[in-house]
């Protein structure tokens, strides 16, 4: 009997050792399988990310299907409704300060230094919507604008309606290029844009959607100086009439002007009126809700 018990004890020890070895071996096998599965998952995740293409191209609108256009129009209506509410709030604040916004398109030019001198003489501020190639040509003028506290905005690259409105992403592509040029010269990244000839009627719903997805703020105006049409002193009275009309409506004037020799020649007369009336000239900023012409289904493509 004692011998039998000793054998049983040894047998138990042997079984225990055997089980331990099996556990170790099985753990190793499962560990390898888990590691292999982990590696396979990592590979799959890597393949998945490689399949996703990241691009610096503008966020594109949906394809030109009826469903896509319907989604874009609904989205734009939400954006437009929210914008109008914020603009109304901003206008109320501006009325308390009797604010006016002077904006100059198409620069910089060979007369911009003179324009800046005049604004400085009258201690007035303004926003400049500038063309990319012009910024490259007159970088020192743009740096002076920055130093003197003027607002810097974008006006595209070509100023050609057939190019900038040629497809859904064309306006955004021009503004992104324009944005990069300005940032290279000044270090400033602006979201303020003005489309050549305004956002109506050529800026389609799809174009507006793509611009919004790229965080651009489309600024138009509510007072057209018509300096581009008259090219003489007549534009001053036209602008004054527009400012008076906005004041009667309880709306802060956003004035469209151009960086040209003809405009500069008669600008002191306009600035004298603005000063006499007690207006405070202010600049547009990235965080302000933009004054934009509504499309309301009436926009049409360039022909």
All structural domains of the chain: 96-282 (3.20.20.370)
Q: Percentage of the chain with pLDDT > 90?
A: 68
Check if 159 is active-site.
Answer: no
Cα separation values, 287 from 45, 46, 86, 143, Å? 38, 38, 11, 22
DSSP state letter for 57: S
Taking a C-beta distance cutoff of 8 angstroms, is the pair 126, 194 a contact?
Answer: no
Cα separation values, 282 from 100, 143, 252, 270, Å? 6, 19, 11, 16
Q: Helix, strand, or coil here: 168? A: coil
> Which burial class, exposed, middle or buried, applies to 153 when counting CB atoms under 10 A from its CB (0-12, 13-18, 19+)?
buried
- Residues 6 or more apart whose CB falls under 8 angstroms from that of 204 comprise 165, 168, 295, 299, 300, 301
pLDDT at 32 over 60: no
- Which one of the listed residues 106, 159, 227, 258 is annotated catalytic? 258
pLDDT at 211 over 90: yes
pLDDT at 71 over 70: yes
- Residues 6 or more apart whose CB falls under 8 angstroms from that of 61 comprise 68, 72, 168, 169, 206, 207, 209, 210, 213
End-to-end alpha carbon distance in the chain: 111
Taking only the tens place, the pLDDT of each residue in 94-128 is 989 999 999 999 999 999 999 999 999 999 999 99
- Which one of the listed residues 94, 105, 212, 227 is annotated catalytic? 105
Q: How confident is the model at residue 59 (pLDDT cuts 50, 70, 90)?
A: low
Q: How confident is the model at residue 295 (pLDDT cuts 50, 70, 90)?
A: confident
Taking only the tens place, the pLDDT of each residue in 217-259 is 999 999 999 999 999 999 999 999 999 999 999 999 999 999 9
Helices (H), the chain: 2-51, 66-97, 112-121, 132-137, 139-147, 161-164, 170-186, 205-213, 227-230, 234-249, 261-276
> Which burial class, exposed, middle or buried, applies to 49 when counting CB atoms under 10 A from its CB (0-12, 13-18, 19+)?
exposed
Q: What integer pLDDT is reported at residue 72 of this predicted model?
A: 85
Check if 155 is active-site.
Answer: no
């Amino acid at each position: 009997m004692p011998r039998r018990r000793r054998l049983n004890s040894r047998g138990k020890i042997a079984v225990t050792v055997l089980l331990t070895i099996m556990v170790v071996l099985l753990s190793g096998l499962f560990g390898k399988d888990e590691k292999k599965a982990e590696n396979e998952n990592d590979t799959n995740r890597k393949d998945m990310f490689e399949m996703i293409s990241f691009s610096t191209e503008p966020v594109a609108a949906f394809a030109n299907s009826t469903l896509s256009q319907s989604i874009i129009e609904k989205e734009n209506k939400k954006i437009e409704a929210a914008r109008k509410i914020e603009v109304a709030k901003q206008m109320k604040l501006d009325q308390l300060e009797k604010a006016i916004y002077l904006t100059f398109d198409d620069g910089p030019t060979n007369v911009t230094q003179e324009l800046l001198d005049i604004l400085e003489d009258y201690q007035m501020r303004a926003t400049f919507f500038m063309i990319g190639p012009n910024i490259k040509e007159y970088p020192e003028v743009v740096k002076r604008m920055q130093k003197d506290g003027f607002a810097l905005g974008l006006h595209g690259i070509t100023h050609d309606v057939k190019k900038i409105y040629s497809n859904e992403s064309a306006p955004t592509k021009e503004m992104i290029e324009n944005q990069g040029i300005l940032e290279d010269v000044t270090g400033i990244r602006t979201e303020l844009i003005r489309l050549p000839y305004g956002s109506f009627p050529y800026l389609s719903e799809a174009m507006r959607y793509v611009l919004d997805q790229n965080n651009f703020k489309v600024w138009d105006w509510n007072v057209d100086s018509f300096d581009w049409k008259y090219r003489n002193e007549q534009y001053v009275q036209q602008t004054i009439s527009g400012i008076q009309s906005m004041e009667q409506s309880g709306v802060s004037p956003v004035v469209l002007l151009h960086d040209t020799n003809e405009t500069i020649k008669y600008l002191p007369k306009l600035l004298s009126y603005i000063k006499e009336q007690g207006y405070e000239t202010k600049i547009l900023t990235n965080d302000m809700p933009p004054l934009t012409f509504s499309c309301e289904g009436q926009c049409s493509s360039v022909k």
